[in-house]
Amino acid sequence: MPDAVKGTWVQIHKVVLKPEERSPRLPDDTKKVPLEFRLKGFLTHDANLGEEVEIETLIGRKVRGKLIKINPEYEHGFGKPVPELLSIGMELRKLLGGEVDVSGHELRSCDE
């Protein structure tokens, strides 16, 4: 059984420029590493991870590269609770002294 069959949504990787092929005007840390490329699409054939494959992208372009992920997920999220932010709302409402302006009227508090 191959890792992924034709038609699977995958991510490929390739090196666009090796360190020695890169622009001469780069900071030292960037100069040492290659310019890398990642792209998602549908496999046009059965394949195993790490193999050179061809994908069809969302607009139908055929692109080749190394198969690095099968069913790649979006991994960004909402983050953890950040204590440095959590109390800001309460602090500000206190500063406003409970006066929150809706449609131009001064309100002491909502149950008054």
Residues that bind other proteins (CB under 8 A): 16-17, 21-23, 25-27, 29-30, 33-41, 57-61, 74-82, 84-85, 88-89, 91-93, 95-96, 99-101, 104
Distance CA 78, CA 55 (A): 31
Please name the amino acid found at residue 101.
Answer: D
> Of 27, 26, 63, whose CA–CA distance to 44 is shortest?
63
Least separation in angstroms between CB 14 and other proteins = 11
Distance CA 54, CA 31 (A): 29
R_g of the chain, CA atoms, integer Å: 26
Is the CB of 1 or the CB of 29 nearer to other proteins? Answer: 29
Least separation in angstroms between CB 7 and other proteins = 17
Least separation in angstroms between CB 94 and other proteins = 11
